[in-house]
Amino acid sequence: MKVAARDLVRNVVKEKLARDEVALSMTVRLVRTAEIVTIAKTAGFDTFYIDLEHSTLSIESAAQICMTAMNAEIAPFVRLPNLSPDVIARILDGGALGVIAPHVESAEQARQVVRAAKFPPLGERSHGGVLPHMGFRSLPSSEVGQAVNDATMVVIMIETKEALAAIDEIAAIDGVDLLFIGTNDLCASLGIPGQFEHEMIRDAYSRGMAACRKHGKHLGVGGLNSHPKLVAQFVEMGARYVSAGTDISFLLSAASAKAAVMRDL
């Protein structure tokens, strides 16, 4: 029985965004094994991103987690440790359905990420053989390239004043799917560290939303997991991807609450 490549890979985040629904994400920084996939799914998340920028996790660990996620209807993303094309290729070949690119401050940098993440004709990603996305089946490279391109998301972080200044040009790049505002770092870059309710931050989200609507892209909210009212405001504005917190913060919060209860017995 012939299997079509497009039927083997799907990205639930892309599907939710296409329906104008909110995709809820968590961040993996601590857990190094595939159990985190089932935990995230059971908890109600649509996706997670493995943070290779701010953790000591390896690409090998990330790949094992990503491959498990593909059979659990939860989309595995990876935040890149850098923008090196070979790193992007290895992460995607390992099973990720999206890359989150930090420290992008220009349209040209965003374009370089797309080139590395997408197969021709949209990019320059090399076909390295069978992929976990296809169940390691040997299928025509033209079919695989199209199917994986369609399922793979390129997420560009907006976390500096330079990126904010170039936000419209970044959103215009073909192959960029989502602009993800790193609110904490953006506050620091704008000279207002920790002032999440500052007018400059509201303006940043407004500009991001305008750029996304203009170019048919989506907006994401990051760094505000302790400020749900602000998240709600930005979702009302039109943001449809929300990062809700890290495995470390979830574990510490639950453990602290339980310890406090037990101490009072």
Residue with tokens 């990420």: 113
Strands 218-222 and 178-182: parallel
How many DSSP H helices and E strands does the chain contain?
12, 8
Q: Say which residues have a Cβ less than 8 Å from residue 84's Cβ, sequence separation at least 6.
A: none
54 is catalytic: yes
Q: How far apart are CA 57 and CA 31, in angstroms?
A: 9
**Contact of 95 with 66, CB cutoff 8 Å:** yes
Q: Which of 54, 103, 198, 227 is catalytic?
A: 54
Q: What are the backbone dihedrals phi and psi of residue 39, each rounded to the nearest 5 degrees, phi first?
A: -60, -45
> Which residues are catalytically annotated?
54
